[in-house]
Structure 1
Amino acid sequence: MLRITEFLQPSCIKMELESNKKKDVLLELLTLFQHEGLIDEAQKDHIWKDLLEREKVSSTGIGSGVAIPHKIVPGLQTTVIAFGRKKKGVPFDSIDGQPVTLLFLILGKEGSEAFHLRLLSKLARLLQQEAFREELIRSESPDQILSILHRWEEE
């Protein structure tokens, strides 16, 4: 069974993003990967530029306060996920025009495109459920975030 929690480490969860702009929250999430040694500085800069270009074409803000930016990254060893929350919300050019409070950034390894899309689809389905989103907003720790994800993945 495909589990989101297998790819999200507690250290890649930011309970309250500091930034107030789309470009800055993306960099903030990428920095979590860098601090864990999952990407290096050069990769971070390259991925950030690519994510910003992707956002210019079409926002990954899918509505209901959610964004799921994602990218396949050559040279990445494994798929990784970062989570960030901004209770006040971040302007994200979302399809519903609402600010984003919950962000999941997915980086997939080259050659895993089908898997990447399945993971993205599963996460999007969970995030469509208001009760799930509300639990994430109310959570108080990275461990709670992981517990919520794990429980909802079981249902």
Structure 2
Amino acid sequence: MLRITEFLQPSCIKLELESNKKKDVLLELLSLLQKEGSIDEAQKDHIWKDLLEREKVSSTGIGSGVAIPHKIVPGLKNTIIAFGRKKKGIPFDSTDGQPVTLLFLILGKEGSEAFHLRLLSKLARLLQQEAFREELIRSESPDQILSILHRWEEE
């Protein structure tokens, strides 16, 4: 079974993002992955530029306060996820025009495009459920975020 929790480490969860702009939030999430050792500085900068270009074409803000920026990254060893939350919301050019409070950044390894899309789809389906989003917003620790994800993945 495909599990989101296999790709999200507690060290890559930020309960209150500091940034207030889309471009800065993306960099903040990438910095979590760099500190965790999943990407290096050069990869971080390259991925950030690519994500910004992608956002210019079409926002990854899918509505209901959710954004799922994602990218296939050459040279990446494994699929990795970072999660960030901003309770007051961030302008993100979302499909519904609402600010984003929950962000999941997914980076997939080259050659795993089908897997990457399945992971993205599973996460998007979970995030369509208001009760799931509310639990993520109310959570108080990275471990609680992981527990919520694990429980909802089981249902």
When normalised by structure 1's length, the TM-score is: 1.00
Looking at structure 1, the residues matched to 34 and 81 of structure 2 have their Cα atoms a distance apart, in angstroms, of 12
- Structure 2 residue matching 1:45: 3-state secondary structure: helix
**Counterpart for residue 36 of structure 2:** 36
Instruction: Encode CA deviations 1:100-136: one digit per residue, 9 max, x unaligned.
Output: 0000000000000000000000000000000000000
SS state at 2:82 partner: strand
CA distance in 2 between counterparts of 1:81 and 1:154 reads 19
Aligned length: 155
Shift of 1:60: 0.1
Q: Tell me the CA shift for residue 83 of structure 1.
A: 0.2
> What displacement does 1:56 show?
0.1
Displacement of 1:27: 0.1
Q: Which runs of 5+ in 2 are unaligned?
A: none
CA distance in 1, matches of 2:139, 2:36: 23
Instruction: Name the CA distance, whole Å, in 2 between partners of 1:153 and 1:43.
Output: 30
Q: Can you give the 5+ residue segments of structure 1 that lack an aligned partner in the other structure?
A: none
Separation in 2, partners of 1:37, 1:146 = 20
Give the Å deviation of 1:154: 0.1
Partner-residue secondary structure (3-state), 1:62? strand
Deviations 1:29-85 (A, max 9, x none): 000010011100000000000000000000000000000000000000000000000
The share of aligned pairs that are identical, in percent, is 94
Match of 1:121, SS? helix
- For residues 66 and 51 of structure 1, what CA distance do their matches in structure 2 show? 16
Q: Which runs of 4+ in 1 moved over 6 A?
A: none
RMSD between aligned alpha carbons? 0.2
TM-score normalised by the chain length of structure 2: 1.00
